[in-house]
């Protein structure tokens, strides 16, 4: 199971980079394409709790921006920091897996 998760990391990370940045400059919280992109990611990787948590953060930030309790710039920065941390985590996991594969071969 863990091996299959590691193998999907490059696919998820590539999709996450390609997916709308969620609360980008032009706020796409209500953009049907952004919502569809996130739903697609969540359906393809239902066991990825980190991805689900990032989506939930996005959703919470969208609601906070809509209510006016957080400004768009702060929400965007917070999301991007979380997304970047997740991308770095996936990259470290992928490198660790690749090093293990090289050592085993």
- Report the percentage of the chain scoring pLDDT > 70: 69
Q: What is the pLDDT of residues 60-101, one digit of tens each?
A: 999 999 899 999 889 989 998 999 999 898 888 888 777 766
CA distance 34 to 103: 40
- Looking at residue 69, its pLDDT comes to 95
- Looking at residue 28, its pLDDT comes to 76
CA distance 45 to 103: 28
- Looking at residue 20, its pLDDT comes to 45
C-alpha pair distances (Å), 69 with each of 34, 73, 80: 22, 12, 18
C-alpha pair distances (Å), 72 with each of 31, 65, 77, 88: 15, 6, 9, 24
What is the 8-class DSSP label of residue 26?
Answer: T
Mean pLDDT of 101-105: 57
Cβ contact 29:72 at 8 Å = no
Mean pLDDT of 46-71: 92
């Amino acid at each position: 199971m863990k091996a299959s998760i590691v193998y999907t990391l490059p696919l998820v990370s590539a999709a996450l980079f390609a997916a709308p940045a969620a609360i980008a400059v032009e706020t796409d919280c209500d953009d049907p394409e952004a919502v569809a992109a996130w739903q697609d990611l969540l359906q393809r990787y239902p066991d990825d709790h980190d991805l689900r948590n990032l989506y939930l953060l996005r959703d919470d930030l969208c609601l906070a921006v809509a209510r006016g309790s957080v400004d768009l710039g702060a929400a965007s920065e917070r999301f991007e920091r979380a997304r970047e941390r997740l991308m770095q985590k996936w990259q470290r996991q992928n490198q660790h897996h690749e090093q293990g594969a090289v050592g085993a071969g």
